[in-house]
Chain A
Amino acid sequence: MKKVYTRPKLLKEAHFHYCLGCGHGIINRLIMEVIEEMNLQEKAICVAPAGCGMLLYNYFEIDVLESAHGRGAAVATGIKRASPQNLVFSYQGDGDLAAIGTAEGFHAANRGENITIIFVNNGVYGMTGGQMAPTTLLTQVTTTTPAGRDALIAGHPVRICEVFAVLDGTSYLERVAVNKPSAVIKTKKAIAKAFQRQLDGRGFSLVEILSPCPTNWKMGAIEACQWVDEVMSKQFPLGVVKEVAC
């Protein structure tokens, strides 16, 4: 019988600490699948964030460095410039990249650093208990927007791909999701493409992944997956936002 699915060897045999229905586990696995399939284990260095993704090093069988909250793109820049032969990527959440680390991400993108950012957008601060993130939708209820996000008080959801797209230094920006099998397949392709472009020396790439957070959205897992399609992706349209040909 043909084996169609197995745990990637680079994904450690540990239990994920992620909540039920969380997208991080899928994204972690996809990254390890891609690195394994592209045979990049000996080259890859991951910069882990502060937030739900911070324990990546317990799951990834590749070199991983923890970064301070929001500084992933600057740390990745330091690694890549010092050691250009490595595949360097940071894994960052929406609070990490779109709030406290905006300057680091923006300027790494603007310099056209030959790194990749895997940007997990679940619209909340997950690890700290579901506070408003820069990407929280208007009217969305969080612990710090109990009456729903009000633009007058808390501003508007940030679309990182579109913001970065106007920077001449960016090379490849795509927004994908992990809420259904077809979306997962697209996400895997996007990650592989971003890594390949980095290997080809094409400069800054970012894959934004819409990821369900049932716990903090106060939804069931299936409802959360549907919400990504029906509500979240209206604010954050899926697809390639920018791809520089050469």
Chain B
Amino acid sequence: MKRLMSGNAALGEAAFLSGCTCYFGYPITPQNELTEYMAKRMVEAGRVFIQSESEIAAINMVLGASVTGARAMTSSSGPGMSLKQEGISYLAADELPAVIVDMVRGGPGMGNISPAQSDYLQATRGGGHGDYKTIVLAPGSVQELTEVVPLAFDLADKYRNPVIILGDGMLGQMMEPVSFDDLKPPAEYEKDYTLTGAKGRPARKMHSLLFDTKLLEEHNWKLSRKFQRIEQNEVKYETYLTDDADMIVVAYGIGARIVKGAIKRLRQENLKVGMIRPITLWPFPAKVLQEMAKTVNDFFVFEMSAGQMVEDVKLSLEGKGHIHFYGRPGGVIPTPVELFRIISRHYYQAHALKRKK
């Protein structure tokens, strides 16, 4: 059955159905509907909901709940995500699962409350202090949230690592028909690390303080090996009309959705443009891009930022191919027509250059 829901509310329902038993949130636009949805849904079902005193408190409540083995989640947007980074670093250090939602808004600073993709680097580079990574999932529609949310809880438990769902103000606020019929709650994992009182086992301690540099280095390499496993096993992406393409657009989330509209127009004019849409922003689909670069020379990166993911595209291509970039920061949402115009101009320029060769 399909229901008309906002992305924020659908995300809340998907989390509930995924077995999230503890939610902690603090008001910030454009994710408030998620906190409000959980306030009702979680409390009615006898699960844990707290409106915390700050984003810092919320992420630390998540840490506390997670250490008991609970599936815990929090959500926020730009400025609040900055505050959560301390706790995310501790979650990563303690190897505790958690799901953190960022409905990105324009920044830096207070910025605005319009949809943006300007938290890409913060999300994909760890974001807090120390050597660590968070898994970053970028859904492109309200329906896709019902796939991404259980996946986020599953990956968090599977790898004992914080997972970030990177949406944006538009995905959070817009209403679309959504069905939860196919949502499968993630498997329950055996957790041998939880703190629940030393009953029938020796006392446990969980800490990230490792004064001995050798021990901390060992811990760093252990985390690093885990991140390599994630890079090998968990890359997710969607391709769109790439088979015959001689220009590939790289875009994610709501940006990719606008690009799709542009590509439909481009195809009507017989411009062979396709798209790759990373669903995992970290791990980034680097190998796929490398493969594509064997036959395609031109990669067009579109982001609703001043250029962040474009760094990953450059790193992935390792100097191969030509990278075009178009960004709209500040919470501006371009239309498919605008992108059609810009992409087609780059496409024709690329072809003119080829002819010169």
Contacts and interface: CB of A to CB of B under 8 A. Distances in A.
Interface in A102-121: 103-104, 106-107, 111
Contact of B197 (A42, A78, A81): A42
Contact of A81 (B22, B69, B208): B22
Interface in B158-181: none
B16 interface: no
B21 interface: yes
Interface in A23-77: 41-45, 47-48, 54-55, 57, 60-68, 71, 74-77
Contact of A68 (B21, B68, B90): B90
Give the interface size bracket for A toward B: 35 or more
Nearest to A100: B56
Nearest to B21: A82
Contact of A82 (B22, B53, B199): B22
A77 B196 contact: no
A104 B55 CA distance: 11
A66 B96 CA distance: 13
B87 A107 contact: no
B199 A42 contact: yes
B315 interface: no
A215 interface: no
Nearest to B66: A78
A6 interface: no
Contacts of B352: none
B60 A68 contact: yes
Interface in B201-260: 203-209
Contacts of A60: 203
Contacts of A82: 21-22, 48, 64-65, 68-70, 72
A107 B209 contact: no
A74 B206 contact: no
Nearest to A111: B50
B67 interface: yes
**Most chain B beta carbons < 10 A, residue from A65, A76, A80, A82:** A82
A74 B52 contact: yes
Interface string A79-91: 1111100110000
Given A63-B203, A82-B21, A103 B53 contact: yes
Contacts of B203: 41, 60-64
A181 B353 CA distance: 88
A76 B64 contact: yes
Interface string B306-327: 0000000000000000000000
17 contacts: A41-B197, A45-B196, A54-B209, A61-B198, A64-B204, A65-B64, A65-B207, A67-B63, A68-B60, A74-B52, A74-B57, A75-B61, A79-B65, A81-B50, A81-B65, A82-B21, A104-B57
Interface of B: 21-22, 24, 48, 50, 52-54, 56-58, 60-70, 72, 86-87, 90, 94, 195-200, 203-209
Interface of A: 41-45, 47-48, 54-55, 57, 60-68, 71, 74-83, 86-87, 103-104, 106-107, 111
